[in-house]
Amino acid sequence: MTKVYLAGPDVFLPDAIHALDRYGCALVAPKARPDDIWHDLTAFETCVRFAAERLRAGRA
């Protein structure tokens, strides 16, 4: 299973960041606060794209 993590602007736990580094996953956070944080899927779409790339590369 590919581990891809989605982080919000208020969710930065040291253990989670260490886990991202350990598994070679990227921390995904928006560059700017979206107008509607509950319906903006930009970061989620990025995570899905990263997961698909890892699966294609056989690093899942």
Domain membership flag for residue 8: no
**Does residue 12 surpass a pLDDT of 60?**
no
In a domain, 1, yes or no: no
Domain with 33 in it = 14-57
Q: What are phi and psi of 20, to 5 degrees?
A: -60, -45
More confident position, 21 or 44 = 44
Report the distance separating Cα 3 and Cα 51, nearest Å. Answer: 8
Residue with tokens 């700017």: 32
Q: Percentage of the chain with pLDDT > 70? A: 70
Q: Is residue 9 in a domain?
A: no
Query: Any idea which of 5-9, 19-23, 31-35 has the lowest mean pLDDT?
Result: 5-9
User: Is residue 32 situated within a structural domain?
Assistant: yes
Predicted confidence at residue 4, as pLDDT, reads 52
Q: Quick one: residue 13, left, alpha or beta (phi over 0 = left, psi -120 to 50 = alpha)?
A: beta
Rounded distance between C-alpha atoms, residue 60 and residue 52, angstroms: 9
- In-domain check, residue 7: no
User: So what's the pLDDT on residue 56?
Assistant: 92
